């Protein structure tokens, strides 16, 4: 009898243990992986419907196996309670916009070797093709009166070699008689991107800058935010850089085209920095636009300007805000403007009154509200994309008068419910000249201060680009920490968010105090008992790659491994091979034959004799901003000095690694190198 009872108890105990283990497995959390990072849904193009009932957005999903992404269109009600998926096809729908009736959306899809503008009923899913073109179309908008579409496409404006020499039609050649000859990731060809208006009723098409060898919008990053219809549909404003010295100038201007008489007016002709992103007020009295005062300086403070359409006077509304203005949206009553801008190391939403320019922050939390900024037609609700270092963009809303935010979407919920969280702290350190430097410190999952951890000193690119609460699909702090590293990310001199003087401080001093900020921050963290001083690496891209190359010759044994992606190694050769010369002209103080003092003092190649640390060097062969030859020069140094080193080049990538399989490979190589030379695992 007792034997049977003991047997029964044993069975029950084993069942209990098994159930406990199963429950434990169900609740088990895992560390974030490169494969998970590169499989996350990516939300963008947030737009509130004209009737205020719905929010339209795009959702792009990478497929690592197929090495591509799929983009579909979705709706969510403004209260977050109802969802609709509008499209689900192998083709990628893009540039979706609301039709003014609030019952339809328009989008572009490439199908049957044509770009098609589709009008879709959001209730019945009935489709109508409004326009088709063999050329690729972009930047779709619709006039408020529903009569016109506007979009951009490439137009041939110069002769190709086959036009000049028809008997040599098979010759492969590029010929140029002025700069630039290439831009961002492509060689310039015989075309320019032009803005068109299409009359839906009579099906006529009008090129607004016919015959002009300029682009609308301004490449490489300009989009449909550089184009705007007036409320009465009688005008369309756009941004273009209509100058001779395109490679040396930042002088974008705002132009206004009259639909009625075909005339064009440059409303910012007396402003010689970059002017862009025009936005008509709902009452039609104003055009708000963004502007940088100093010519040739891409990182000057971005101001919010007001153009009075009646008097043609221009004034700055944001003069009391020492931050860069980002997204902008008018209040429906035209009495104030809502905008996103940095507030130290985070991005907040501000309300700015007209005409005083008085402003206040209306969002809450140490996160980034930097997705597409919207306001409901009744003026009561702000809708915006929000992200942080652990989470990519989701849609949030909060009262326009200010208050707590409500999360409306959670597009990656299934992935995140199984992931271990990390801890993110803010810290201020004192640099060499006793200035305070803001730093982010990101800790691994299950951090234990009694243990020892390796550390990554992250060097930001830009150089004028804040380390804020952003979520990067490349330099991802969540992923770095999940591999067991403490990550130090200092907002060294040269970064916006801390006033324009702090941002300006890197110009002409790349290898000076900004590098000391990084070194002093590293030294401060090395005092922590939980940091293993023998396992510290410096990593970064672009201007951050420059920092890594500079540190390679100046770090005095602080680092055991280095990783530089698309970094500037030789400022002299970089000057002669980059495409936008206004950048080195401003940052370096002109070409090397006029200012050799800067190049001798700041170029990393001048310190190559001190190199002695294992280094991984990565580049994209279509990167024309920091040409891949910079990586080749640096790798040659490392190899000839017999330093453990590795070079990785991506033939189809530019300054960024974008294709899913390339991105995963990049991450694997990144962490494998750190394991071998930072963690010293064989």
| DSSP result, 4-55 | HHHHHHHHHHHHHHHHHHHHHHHH--B---HHHHTTS-EEEEEEE-TTSSEE
**Does position 6 have pLDDT exceeding 50, yes or no?**
no
Inter-helix orientation angle 513-526/543-552, to 10°: 70
Across the chain, how many H-helices and E-strands are there? 13, 38
Give residue 236's pLDDT. Answer: 98
Burial class (CB in 10 A: 0-12, 13-18, 19+), 605: buried
**Does position 185 have pLDDT exceeding 50, yes or no?**
yes
What are the residue ranges spanned by the domains of the chain? 418-677
What 3-state class would DSSP assign to 663?
helix
Q: How many CA atoms lie within 13 A of 301 on its CB side?
A: 17
Which tokens belong to 638? 């490392």
**Does position 224 have pLDDT exceeding 50, yes or no?**
yes
Quote the distance between the C-alpha of residue 32 and its chain's center.
22
Give residue 9's pLDDT. Answer: 38
Q: Per residue in 272-292, pLDDT tens?
A: 999 999 999 999 999 999 999
Spatial contact of 144 and 229, defined as CB atoms under 8 Å apart: yes
Q: Per residue in 11-22, pLDDT tens?
A: 333 333 343 344
Closest to 325 measured CA to CA, from 315, 314, 316, 334: 316
Residue 27's pLDDT band (cuts 50, 70, 90):
low
Spatial contact of 167 and 179, defined as CB atoms under 8 Å apart: no
Which tokens belong to 283? 């009452």
Q: Which among 25-29, 87-91, 397-401 has the top mean pLDDT? A: 397-401
Give residue 682's pLDDT. Answer: 66
Give residue 206's pLDDT. Answer: 98
Averaged over 507-522, what is the pLDDT? Answer: 98
User: Which residues are paired to 107 by β-bridges?
Assistant: 118
Quote the distance between the C-alpha of residue 354 and its chain's center.
30
Which helix (H) or strand (E) is 131 found in, with range? strand 127-133
**Does position 303 have pLDDT exceeding 60, yes or no?**
yes
Spatial contact of 214 and 236, defined as CB atoms under 8 Å apart: no
Which helix (H) or strand (E) is 370 found in, with range? none
CA distances from 451 to 86, 454, 486, 531, 674 (A): 51, 10, 12, 8, 19
Quote the distance between the C-alpha of residue 480 and its chain's center.
19
What 3-state class would DSSP assign to 667?
helix
Give residue 13's pLDDT. Answer: 36
Strand residue runs (E) in 417-527: 423-430, 436-443, 453-459, 486-490
Is the peptide bond between 339 and the residue preceding it cis, with omega within 30 degrees of 0?
no
Averaged over 315-336, what is the pLDDT? Answer: 98
Which helix (H) or strand (E) is 83 found in, with range? strand 83-85
What average pLDDT does the structure give for the chain? 95
Query: How far is 38 from 40, CA to CA, in rounded Å?
Result: 6
Give residue 109's pLDDT. Answer: 98
Q: Are strands 286-291 and 275-280 parallel, antiparallel or unpaired?
A: antiparallel
Give residue 15's pLDDT. Answer: 35
Give residue 76's pLDDT. Answer: 98
Length of the chain: 682
Q: What DSSP designation does 595 have?
A: -
Q: Per residue in 419-465, pLDDT tens?
A: 999 999 999 999 999 999 999 999 999 999 999 999 999 999 999 99
Q: Which CATH superfamily is domain 418-677 in?
A: Alpha/Beta hydrolase fold, catalytic domain (3.40.50.1820)
Q: How many CA atoms lie within 13 A of 672 on its CB side?
A: 8
Active site residues: 542, 623, 655
Q: Per residue in 580-635, pLDDT tens?
A: 999 999 999 999 999 999 999 999 999 999 999 999 999 999 999 999 999 999 99
Classify residue 464 as left (phi > 0), alpha (psi -120 to 50) or beta: beta
Residue 24's pLDDT band (cuts 50, 70, 90):
very low
Residue 681's pLDDT band (cuts 50, 70, 90):
confident
Give residue 3's pLDDT. Answer: 43
Residue 472's pLDDT band (cuts 50, 70, 90):
very high
Give residue 489's pLDDT. Answer: 98
How many other C-beta atoms lie within 10 A of the C-beta of residue 334? 16
CA distances from 365 to 177, 386, 437, 546, 594 (A): 53, 10, 21, 33, 48
**Does position 525 have pLDDT exceeding 80, yes or no?**
yes
User: Which residues are paired to 375 by β-bridges?
Assistant: 382
Quote the distance between the C-alpha of residue 317 and its chain's center.
26
67 CB contacts (<8 Å, ≥6 apart)? 659, 660, 661
Q: How many CA atoms lie within 13 A of 117 on its CB side?
A: 26
546 CB contacts (<8 Å, ≥6 apart)? 463, 510, 540, 567, 568, 569, 604
Strand residue runs (E) in 225-335: 227-229, 235-240, 253-258, 264-266, 275-280, 286-291, 303-308, 314-316, 325-330
Give residue 592's pLDDT. Answer: 97
Which tokens belong to 17? 């243990």
pTM, two decimals, is 0.94
What 3-state class would DSSP assign to 115?
strand
Block residue for tokens 């025009």: 278
């Amino acid at each position: 009898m007792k034997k049977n009872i003991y047997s029964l108890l044993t069975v029950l105990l084993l069942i209990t243990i098994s159930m406990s283990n199963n429950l434990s497995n169900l609740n088990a959390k895992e560390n974030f992986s490169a494969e998970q990072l590169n499989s996350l849904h990516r939300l963008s193009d947030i737009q509130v419907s004209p009737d205020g009932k719905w929010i339209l957005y795009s959702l792009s999903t990478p497929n690592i196996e197929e090495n591509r992404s799929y983009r579909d269109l979705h709706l969510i009600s403004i209260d977050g309670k109802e969802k609709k998926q509008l499209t689900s096809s192998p083709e990628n729908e893009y540039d979706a916009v609301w039709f003014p009736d609030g019952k339809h959306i328009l989008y572009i899809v490439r199908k049957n070797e044509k770009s098609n503008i589709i009008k879709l009923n959001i209730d019945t899913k009935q489709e109508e093709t409004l326009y088709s073109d063999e050329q690729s179309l972009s930047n779709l908008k619709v006039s408020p009166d529903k009569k016109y579409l506007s979009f951009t496409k490439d137009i041939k404006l110069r002769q190709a070699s086959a036009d000049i020499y028809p008997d040599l039609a098979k010759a492969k050649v590029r010929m140029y008689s002025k700069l630039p000859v290439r831009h961002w990731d492509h060689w310039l060809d015989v075309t320019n991107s032009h803005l068109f208006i299409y009359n839906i009723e009579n099906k006529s098409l009008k090129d607004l800058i016919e015959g002009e060898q300029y682009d609308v919008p301004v490449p490489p990053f300009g989009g449909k935010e550089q184009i705007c219809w007036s409320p009465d549909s009688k005008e369309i404003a756009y941004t273009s850089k209509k100058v001779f010295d395109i490679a040396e100038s930042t002088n974008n201007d705002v132009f206004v085209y009259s639909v009625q008489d075909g005339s064009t007016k440059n409303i910012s002709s007396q402003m010689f920095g970059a002017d862009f992103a025009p936005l008509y007020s709902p009452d039609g009295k104003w055009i708000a636009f963004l502007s940088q005062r100093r010519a040739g300086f891409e990182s000057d403070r971005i101001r919010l300007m007001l153009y009075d359409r009646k008097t043609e006077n221009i004034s700055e509304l944001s003069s009391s805000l020492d931050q860069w203005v980002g997204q902008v949206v008018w209040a429906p009553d035209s009495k104030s403007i809502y905008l996103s801008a940095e507030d130290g190391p985070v991005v907040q939403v501000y309300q700015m009154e007209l005409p005083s320019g008085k402003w206040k922050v209306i969002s809450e939390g140490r996160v980034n509200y930097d997705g597409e900024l919207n306001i409901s037609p009744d003026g009561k609700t702000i809708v915006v994309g929000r992200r942080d270092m652990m989470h990519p963009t989701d849609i949030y809303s909060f009262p326009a008068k200010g208050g707590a935010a409500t999360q409306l979407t959670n597009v990656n919920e299934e992935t995140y419910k199984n992931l271990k969280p990390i801890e993110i702290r803010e810290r201020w350190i004192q640099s060499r000249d006793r200035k305070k430097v803001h730093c982010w410190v990101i800790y691994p999952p299950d951090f234990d201060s009694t243990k020892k951890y390796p550390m990554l000193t992250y060097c930001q690119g830009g150089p004028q680009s804040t380390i804020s609460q952003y979520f990067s699909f490349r330099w991802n702090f969540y992923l770095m920490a999940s591999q067991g590293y403490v990550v130090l990310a200092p907002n060294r001199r040269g970064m916006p968010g801390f006033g324009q003087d702090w941002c300006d401080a890197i110009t002409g001093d790349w290898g000076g105090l900004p590098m000391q900020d990084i070194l002093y921050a590293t030294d401060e963290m090395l005092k922590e008992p939980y940091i293993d001083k023998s396992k510290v690496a410096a990593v970064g891209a672009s201007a951050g790659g420059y920092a890594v190359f500079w540190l390679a010759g100046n770090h005095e044994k602080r680092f055991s491994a280095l990783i530089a992606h698309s970094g500037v190694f030789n400022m002299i050769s970089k000057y002669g091979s980059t495409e936008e010369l206004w950048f080195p002209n401003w940052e370096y103080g002109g070409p090397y034959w006029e200012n050799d003092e800067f190049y001798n003092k700041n170029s990393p190649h001048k310190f190559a004799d001190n190199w002695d640390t294992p280094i991984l060097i990565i580049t994209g062969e279509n990167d024309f901003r920091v040409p891949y030859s910079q990586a080749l020069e640096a790798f040659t140094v490392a190899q000839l000095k017999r330093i453990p080193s590795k070079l990785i080049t991506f033939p189809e990538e530019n300054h960024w690694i974008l294709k899913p399989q390339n991105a995963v490979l990049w991450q694997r190589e990144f962490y494998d190198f750190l394991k071998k030379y930072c963690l010293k695992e064989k």
